[in-house]
Chain A
Amino acid sequence: MTLAFTLCSINYLAQARTLGDSLKRTNPHIRFVIGLVDRLDTANVPADKLPEFELLELHRIGIDGLDEMCKHYNITELNTAVKPYFFRYFFGKVPQVKNVIYFDPDIIVYQPLAELEALLEKNDFVLTPHLATPIEDQLTPNELHHLNTGVYNLGFIALHKSPEALDFVKWWEEKLFDECKIDLCNGLFVDQHWVNFAPVFWNNVHVEKHPGWNAAYWNLHERTFTNEDKGHFVNGQPVVFFHYSGYDPAKPSVISKYQNRFTFEKRPDLNPLFDYYRDELLRNHNAYYRQFPCYYIKSEPLYKYQRIRALLKKPFEKWLARL
């Protein structure tokens, strides 16, 4: 049995529902679970706004020290840090589960995942790289960025239940308990950078370079899209899943807030994929969900007199920099 899951707080439920709808259309045999990094009881989401998909709240999977974990993470960090804990829960608690696939909530699956399931028969890990071919310019993001944040994109990872994969999950959990941060100078970029170790420490890792897998803003330079009667294609092959990272339906002219290489004017081939996504998000009440704050994230106090503070700090910081 194959299980797919995503992780989000209530504010991203429109995305998670869109992903779930797409899986139901293309892969009805795959059980889909939304791992919710939030609490429904305190948020009071009305019944008609609850997704029809299985919801598994974070506090139900049994993480030792969850409170401590929440204390040092922001919403992005926490949503990524709990990934291996959910993997372990599914491998341990769901009978008959053979494969577990993680998708970021902002992904749409357009095709059956038969090839992925076949790959998982022979491999314990399936990953997708950010890039399959070099980028020659130095716009954002370029090759250097992925060297700092991880060469594989962790919006997608699929594991086959095996001793190797379980060993990896355990190690990943330990890392992410307190080192799922963005601290590039010290080699940290949430859950993603750690996975550079997967092919080094473990075997049976498959890296899939099919242009239709995890297509996203970081690899548009090597992928051209067409929309045909039979669906969306990329470089002549079917789009299997597209990752709409950094896209906001409230700003429909921006491909992603994290990139500056392409615009829709330069890349009209992207319009059909994004028009569809925007409609789906709006249909799934994106604006409604966005207003929910995450239960686990305490809002930080806003400190006053920032300029005076900066002025006072200056001589000490200068001294520090010289040391």
Chain B
Amino acid sequence: MAGKTLIFTVCTAEHYPFAQALADSLPKELTFKVGMVGEVAAGELDVVQFRELPFEVIPEMQQRYDKPALVAAAKPFFASYFLQQNGIENVIYFDPTTFTFGDFDDILQKSTTYDIVLTPRLTRKFGKSTYGDEKMFLNTGMYDNGFFAVRKSQNTFRFLEWWQQRLTDRAYLDLCNGMNHDQLWLNYVPILFENSCIYKNIGWNVGLQNLHERVLTFKDNKWVVNLSEPLVFFNFKECLEEGTEVKKMIKDSGATKLLSRYKERLKQYTAVIPPVFSLRKSLHSPDSAFRKGLKDTLRTIVDTITYFPIYHKISK
């Protein structure tokens, strides 16, 4: 089974150290490839370049998108390319900022049972937390783009082709128009495609967006989530941001040590941890107090002009 499974990530040269750390965490018997967007980094890992994939639309995509959008949009192209290779039956994608912990059996089992496996970004209602509120998930996506697994089938190729077509020209970050890179499209997966699985295991795809519902403890040499499920993989993407809010969220969930160990590992490959695109950060750009005050004042002026009470009262 293991020989037929290929794992890949997609990143730029700048983020190559993350891919190196991810590679360290994967079972050695599984094939691991790094899909590279832009310049190639020097390293030992098996690299495939995006611009060399056999898809006509790639040059136009490279023109169209900024780096975070292009990296996101490249995923189904790589998945489709790898899945078409002889002898490959399953392809699993992880964000480069992911680290896996121990037991891979459940991942392999799920990815050989279903055509498409996704994880929800959170699993329980919470109202409001430091991360944000529930409506923030509605126009950014219910299912996480940091992980997916696909199994070779006609249905899967239909899904990948559908996703590729959309990401060719609709992978912007433009929430007002229903776009959040590759992620928001995944909302359609359980509806438009058969044999898909939304796997709610709380040990999978732990990340800043679901830390409010997950507490991590280190027990018998293993990380455990909510004292029940073993931690299977953690995506550090949004945890790498410096800032008191993020630090607090990590501390409250017991993941401080986990994060510092991850950072230590990264330091083996890079002196400085490169900045990572964070959805949360891009939605909540922290304004300085002065800027915020100025904005509020301007908004008040605009509202006053709009509603200055010179009007016809209509009464029916």
Contacts and interface: CB of A to CB of B under 8 A. Distances in A.
Contact of A320 (B125, B179, B295, B311): B295
A303 B177 CA distance: 30
A114 interface: no
Contacts of A313: 301-302, 305-306
A301 interface: yes
B187 A303 contact: no
A293 B299 contact: no
A210 B295 CA distance: 50
B240 to A, nearest CB: 25
Interface string A160-192: 000000000001001100010000111110000
B191 interface: yes
A301 B298 contact: no
Given A301-B311, A303-B310, A305-B310, A196 B187 contact: yes
Interface in B169-218: 170, 175-179, 184-185, 187-188, 190-192, 198, 200
B298 A207 contact: no
Contacts of B311: 301-304
A226 interface: no
Interface string A191-214: 001101101110000010100000
Given A171-B125, A316-B302, A317-B302, A323 B187 contact: no
B192 A148 contact: no
Contacts of A158: none
Nearest to B140: A187
Interface stretch (B82-90, B130-138, B269-277): B130-138
A186 B139 contact: yes
Contacts of A1: none
A207 to B, nearest CB: 6
B305 A320 contact: no
A144 B306 CA distance: 32
Contacts of A320: 295, 298-299, 302
Contacts of A133: 192
Interface residues of A, number: 47
Given A143-B188, A147-B185, A201 B314 contact: no
Contacts of B162: 134
B182 to A, nearest CB: 12
Nearest to B120: A200
Nearest to B125: A201
Contacts of A323: 291, 294-295, 298
Nearest to B292: A323
Interface in B258-308: 291, 294-295, 298-299, 301-302, 305-308
A148 B141 CA distance: 10
Contacts of B136: 187
Given A129-B191, A144-B179, A197 B142 contact: yes
B315 interface: yes
A132 B170 CA distance: 20
B124 interface: yes
A309 interface: yes
B176 A185 contact: yes
Contacts of A186: 135, 139
A303 B308 CA distance: 8
A132 B191 contact: yes
A312 interface: yes
Interface string A118-148: 0000000000010111100000000111111
A147 B187 contact: yes
B28 interface: no
Given A131-B192, A143-B188, A200 B123 contact: yes
A316 B301 contact: yes
Interface in A304-323: 304-305, 309, 312-313, 316-317, 319-320, 323
A274 to B, nearest CB: 27
A312 B303 CA distance: 11
A201 B123 contact: yes
Contacts of A234: none
Nearest to A298: B315
A151 interface: yes
A40 B169 CA distance: 52
Given A131-B192, A188-B135, A197-B134, A148 B177 contact: yes
A132 to B, nearest CB: 7
Contact of A151 (B166, B177, B191, B310): B191
A236 B57 CA distance: 38
B178 A144 contact: yes
Given A144-B177, A187-B140, A194-B138, A302 B314 contact: yes
Interface string A228-251: 000000000000000000000000
B232 interface: no
Contact of B188 (A151, A174, A316): A151
A312 B308 CA distance: 12
B214 to A, nearest CB: 15
A300 B139 CA distance: 30
A44 interface: no
Contacts of A144: 170, 177-179
15 contacts: A129-B191, A132-B191, A143-B166, A144-B178, A148-B177, A151-B188, A171-B125, A199-B198, A200-B123, A200-B198, A201-B125, A299-B314, A302-B312, A305-B310, A320-B295
Given A193-B135, A207-B191, 11 more contacts: A131-B188, A144-B178, A148-B176, A151-B187, A174-B127, A179-B135, A196-B187, A197-B142, A316-B302, A323-B294, A323-B295
Interface of A: 129, 131-134, 143-148, 150-151, 171, 174-175, 179, 184-188, 193-194, 196-197, 199-201, 207, 209, 293, 299-305, 309, 312-313, 316-317, 319-320, 323
